[in-house]
């Protein structure tokens, strides 16, 4: 796939827009891709790395991915320039069943570099805004600089049909920060969205997910109405290599999207 766009989101975090080189591959992607699925992005000579497709299922002319430069593959990806070719395998995994969210209020909760998978669902829903009720987005990062998709956050903030709550961890605020300061679960409890007819989608680091699930429970959310994605280490993406296993689940095939009810049946210590 060819890199056609490249954007620095936050220190070490980049978004790339990729276009298919082969029309048949593109058509297959259009047919298969639904929000929540992931892919393996690769640079020959370095390897492949797994992350979600950050663009929504309503926009399939391209693929967008957002990643933090941290390992061998992501460093190579980060060094790739517009016009360079990289590889994509996928889309793999299951999806957020957004057609079952029709007519419901949506609550998106996300932390740090985990906004990309949430963003894919958010846009998939906002692109057919009329089908959903109230949309609330709670997004937090360690510091103001670590917030990703800043221009889209501005856009959501301005939209009358979206409630956006932004927060940074204590100490991460900048002098001109006008939004909240506090950890995501705390901010969520303050915002206290109603569980009535509401679907929650949460993505974040394991520790955030753990405490956010507790907060949602406190607010009265039913575990079956809470969705999350598990971002495990993967290599093959097709249920063979074994490393994404959590209990009997192959996250790459049966996930990455799970309801909180499904997650609660997994061995907690292995998450």
Partner 1 sequence: MTRCLFSNKLENCVTLWRSAGYSVIGPVRKDATSSYAAVEHAADFDLGMVLPDRSIKELFFPQTEPMLHYTIKQQAINTEEFTPPAGKRIIFGVRPCDASGLSIDDPLFGWDYKDEYWFQRRNESVIVTIACTKADDFCLCTSLKLAPDSTNGSDILLRPLENNNGWQVEELTERGREAFSAIAELLQEASEPTAPLAVVPEMFNLDTCVAWLQNPENFESKFWKDISMRCIGCGSCTYLCPTCHCFDIQDEGDTYSGIRRKNWDSCSFALFTMHTSGHNPRSTQSARWRQRIMHKFNYFPGKFSVNSCSGCGRCTRQCPVDMGITETLQKISTLHP
Partner 2 sequence: MITQEKYRSKAKKLLAEGSVKMVIGYSPGSTPDRRRPVFIRSFDEADQLVLDSNCIANLSGYLVSEGLLSDEKHVAIFLRPDGIRSINILAAESQLNVDQIIIFGFDTNGNEVRALTGEHAGEFSEFIGSIKEHPPEKSRDPLLYQIEQMNPQERFAFWKDEFSRCIKCYACRQACPMCYCRRCIVDSNQPQWINTSSHTLGNFEWNVVRAFHLAGRCVGCGNCDRACPVNIPLRLINSRMAEEVLDSFDHFAGLNPAQEPVLASFKKDDSETFIL
First to last CA, the chain: 32
| Contact yes or no for 34/95 (Cβ under 8 A) | yes
Nearer to partner 2, 49 or 212 (CB): 49
* CA neighbor of 105 nearest in space, from 180, 22, 172, 199: 199
> Which of partner 1, partner 2, none sits in contact with 68, Cβ below 5 to 8 A by type?
partner 1
Nearer to partner 1, 49 or 225 (CB): 49
DSSP 79-143: H--TT-B-EEEEEES----GGGGTTSEEEEEEEGGGHHHHHHHHHHHHTTGGGS--EEEEEEESS
State yes or no: residue 267 binds partner 1 (CB under 8 A).
Answer: yes
For 271, the token pair is 């998450």
What are the φ/ψ torsions at residue 63 (nearest 5 degrees)?
A: -120, 135
State yes or no: residue 261 binds partner 1 (CB under 8 A).
Answer: no
Q: Contacting partner 2 (CB under 8 A), which of 5, 11, 71, 170?
A: 71
> Which of partner 1, partner 2, none sits in contact with 75, Cβ below 5 to 8 A by type?
partner 2
State yes or no: residue 44 binds partner 1 (CB under 8 A).
Answer: yes
Residues in the site for partner 2, rule: CB under 8 A?
Answer: 71-72, 75
Residues in the site for partner 1, rule: CB under 8 A?
Answer: 44-49, 68, 70-71, 74, 83-85, 87, 205-206, 231-233, 235-236, 238-243, 245-248, 253, 267, 269-271
């Amino acid at each position: 796939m060819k890199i056609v766009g490249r954007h620095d989101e936050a220190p070490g975090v980049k978004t790339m827009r990729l276009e298919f080189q082969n029309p048949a591959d593109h058509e297959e992607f259009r047919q298969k891709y639904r929000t929540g699925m992931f892919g393996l992005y690769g640079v020959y000579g370095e390897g492949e790395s797994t992350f979600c497709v950050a663009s929504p299922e309503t926009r399939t002319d391209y693929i967008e991915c957002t990643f933090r430069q941290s390992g061998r593959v992501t460093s190579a990806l980060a060094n790739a320039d517009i016009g360079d070719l990289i590889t994509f395998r996928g889309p793999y995994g299951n999806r957020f069943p957004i057609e079952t969210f029709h007519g419901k209020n949506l609550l998106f909760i996300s932390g740090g570099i985990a906004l990309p998978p949430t963003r894919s669902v958010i846009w998939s829903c906002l692109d057919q805004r009329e089908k959903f009720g109230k949309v609330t987005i709670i997004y937090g990062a360690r510091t103001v600089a670590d917030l990703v998709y800043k221009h889209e956050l501005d856009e959501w903030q301005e939209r009358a049909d979206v409630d956006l709550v932004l927060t940074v961890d204590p100490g991460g605020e900048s002098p001109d920060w006008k939004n909240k300061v506090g950890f995501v679960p705390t901010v969520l409890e303050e915002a206290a969205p109603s569980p009535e007819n509401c679907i929650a989608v949460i993505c974040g680091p394991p520790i955030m997910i753990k405490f956010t699930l507790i907060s949602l429970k406190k607010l009265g959310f039913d575990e079956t109405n809470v969705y999350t994605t598990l971002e495990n280490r993967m290599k093959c993406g097709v249920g063979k290599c074994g490393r994404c296993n959590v209990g009997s689940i192959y996250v790459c095939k049966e996930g990455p999207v799970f309801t909180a009810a499904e997650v609660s049946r997994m061995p907690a210590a292995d998450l």
